[in-house]
Structure formats: structure tokens, C-alpha cells
Amino acid sequence: MTNVNYFKDQFEQLQDSGPATAIAELRTDGFNTFNKSGLPTYKLEEWKYTNISSLFDKEYQFANTAPAIQLSDIDAIRLAGHEQANELVFVNGRFIPALSTIRSTASQLVILALEEAAKGKYEQLVKAHLGQSSEYLKDGIHALNTSFIQDGLFLLVPKGQQLTEPVYIYHISDARQQNTLSQPRSLIFVEENAKLQLTETYTTLGTSESFTNEVLEVVVKENAFVEYYKIQHDGLNASQVGSTHIHQIGRSHVHTVVVSLNGGVIRNNLNLVLDAAGNETHLYGLYLLKGKSHVDNHTLVDNKQPNCFSNQLYKGIAGDASTGVFSGRIIVQPDAQKTNAYQSNKNIILSDQATINTKPQLEIFADDVKCSHGCTVGQLDEEALFYLRARGIPKEAAEVLLLEAYAADILVQIKPEPLRNHVAELIYEHLSIS
């Protein structure tokens, strides 16, 4: 059975299994879009450099039965600082409360199954915000996630809660028996004067293929502060389209860092919709690519209101036969006067077979704005390398020193120290093993 027929079959089963809720309606919309668009091919401008449709030449399955994941499996993948963290576990794209550990109190942090939240006191919130990302991501792969919203996560930090325990989300794909398609879906609210540190990481078990097609939607209200970290260091058999859509509806502050080390084909969509005057947003990214890894970062900053500030710095290193893609789109809407929007993408290529594609796009419809963008593609500084070697440091170690130094100004943007040190170690190991 081809994937598309399988998806159709599965979709019908899912819709027949439950009542006609708002979420079910959303799924129908999603599946209609998927049917119309199919999986994106390189013919679409936004997918010009990243071919995911060929990944679906292989047959994937949703793992419907509860997989055999124990708490001890999770011990192996916990991030540093987990002792103080709220740890949420997704297995094969489904939020599993039984495997999760919530350390904050119920008044500090609300965590529910998305379907539950859609029925109770948060019904209107869910209705108003779930699926907002579809306005920006109109392709078939995004619609495929929406088609199968099921066992999603609803997370809310109530008004005034400056959450001190971070939230860690562990995504586990079980590819021990079969090629697995995981489609996590989350909706997150950070209310007025609240603070949230959110980190996501991904692990594939087994050696079959895993494909994670994630959508995470975040709504940020007045005076809220959000730090978002995404750490991608999975196997070469693990591919991913990860879409993070952050909607700043009140004047607020958002800080994001996306670090991509190992993986197969990775596409990250990071959308920031600055929908209140005076929003501030910082986007940082680091990709250190080896082997045949392919990492594509698409950012979008949509300035809808005046006086917003955004700054983007993405840095990449491409070795071996890897490919790095950066596409940064900044939109300044007619009302968004006095926008300050900056973007920079810097790359180092280490091998003749490696490729970097970098594409800034500025669409400015207001006249009183400051916007800049820049991109560079270069090589490791040969003079610096010679200097280190002339002091007795072997070539490989000297390269690691220089690459670590190159990555350092993104690393420091990971503010929590345990997490920063953890990522620093991952980077060191990743660079040291050739």
C-alpha cells in the first residue's frame, strides 16, 4: 500500500472513531489540503533545496499500539538540568502523560491532553489558536500533521507565573520494528507576565527510518517572556520537518536557539508573528553538518504592528557531503512602522562536496523601518589554523578549537547553564569524531 492510500485509510479510521469536534473539523480541513497539495516537491519555491517527498518512497506507519517504552528508556535521553525540569514525553508523536514528570504545581503550569483542553474551560482558546500556523505554512506536509491531530499537548503558563522549572519535551520515535512516522502536535500559551523556558529534543530508537513531522504553536501574551531551545542530535535514519509557530499577541519577549547536529534530512520552520506593538524577538541557530546530513532552516518574521525589534543570527558549518540551507524571510506590514529587523547568516564550508544555500527575503510595505540582512560563506581561517599548529596543536584538534570558537557566540545564547554545558559537550564530541 502506498503511503498516500495508507494515510487516507488511517484518516478515515480516525475520523470514524470519535465525535465531530472542532479538532475533527480541523483535521478534515487539513486532509483536504493534503489531498490537494500532496507532499511538497522541489518545484515549490519554499522547498527548492529540500526534497522530502523522496523520503516517502519508503513506506511509513503510524504506531497505533502503545509502544514498549519504559521509564528506564527515558533515563538515557534526559537533558542536563532534568532534576528541576518538567519532563514531557512524546512517543511516536503522541503525548504520553504516564511517562511524563510534572514538577511544577497545577497553579503554576497547566498540562492537558489537547483533546481534553478543547472540551473544557480552554475550549475557546483552543478554537481561536489551534491551527493558526496553517495561515503561514500552506504546504501538504504541514497539512498532514493537522490531518492527524491526536494525543496532542496543551500547555499553559497562567498569568504572572514566572516558571522556574523549565519544560523539557522528549520526542521518542520507535523505529525498532518498522519505519515510523511521528506527528506531534502542541499548543502552548504563555499568559500575561508569565515566563517559560521550553526545550525540545529528539531520539529515534532502532535502525529503521523515522520521520517526525511536528507542529508546535505558541501564543505569547503581554509582558510574557519565552525562551525556546531545540536540540537536534538524532541518528542519520531520523528525518524531520519541525514547524514552530510563535504568535506574540501582546508586547512580549521571545528568545529562540535551534541547534542541529546529527540527523538525516531536517527542515525547521520557525515563524514569529509579531502581532503587538513593541515586540522583541531573538532568533539564533547553529548547524554543524557532517556526512550526508541535510539541514534546512526557514525563518519567518512577520512584523504586523509598529515598533517591533527582531534579530536573527544563524551560523553553520558544512563538512563532508552535507548540505545546509538558510532561508530567512522578513515581512514588514504597512502598519509596522518603526520596525527594526536584522538578519545574518554565516557559514563555513569544510569540504568540496559540501553545499550551502542561503537566501534572505525582505518584503517591506512600510516606509519608516530599519532592516538589514547579510550572508557569508567562507572557509576555516588558514592563518589561524597554521598559528595553532605552529604551537604544536595537531591539525584535527586545531580545527576543533576553531570550530568551537565559531560556534561559541550561538552557544552563549543558551541561557540556562546546565543546558548550555550539555550542548557544549555535544558540540565538542560531534566535532571531534570525524
Of 375 and 393, nearer to other proteins (C-beta) is 393
Instruction: Count H helices and E strands in the chain, helices first.
Output: 9, 20
Interface positions, 302-321, toward other proteins (CB under 8 A) = none
Q: Is 167 in the site for other proteins (CB under 8 A)?
A: no
Distance CA 360, CA 373 (A): 7
Residue 402 binds to other proteins (criterion: CB under 8 A): yes
CB of 228 to other proteins, least distance (A): 25
> Within the chain, what is the greatest distance between any pair of CA atoms?
72
Binding to other proteins by residue 335, rule CB under 8 A? no
Question: What's the min distance (Å) between Cβ of 153 and other proteins?
Answer: 37
Q: Which of residues 366-395 bind other proteins (CB under 8 A)?
A: 381, 383-384, 386-395
**309 or 314: whose CB is closer to other proteins?**
314
**H/E element holding 146?**
helix 140-147
408 touching other proteins, by CB under 8 A: yes
Q: Which three cell numbers stand for residue 349?
A: 564550508
Q: How many residues bind other proteins (CB under 8 A)?
A: 22
Q: Which three cell numbers stand for residue 53?
A: 517527498
68 lies in the binding site for other proteins (CB under 8 A)? no
- Report in angstroms how near the CB of residue 303 gets to other proteins at its nearest: 32
CA distance 79 to 90: 15
The smaller minimum CB distance to other proteins, of residues 288 and 398, is found at 398
Backbone angles phi, psi at 293, to 5 degrees: -55, 150
Burial of 58 (0-12, 13-18, 19+ CB in 10 A): exposed
Q: What CA–CA distance (Å, rounded) separates 314 from 345?
A: 5
Of 236, 385, 387, 422, the closest CA to residue 320 belongs to 236
Q: Where does this chain touch other proteins (CB under 8 A) — which range of 53-61, 194-202, 204-212, 397-405?
A: 397-405
Determine contact, residues 323/294, Cβ cutoff 8 Å.
yes
Residue of 125, 366, 401, 426 interacting with other proteins (CB under 8 A) = 401
Report the alpha-carbon distance of residue 153 to residue 115 in Å, rounded: 8
Residue 88 CB, nearest approach to other proteins (Å)? 34
> Mask 93-122, x = binds other proteins (CB under 8 A)?
------------------------------
Q: Which residues bind other proteins (CB under 8 A)?
A: 381, 383-384, 386-395, 397-398, 401-402, 404-406, 408-409
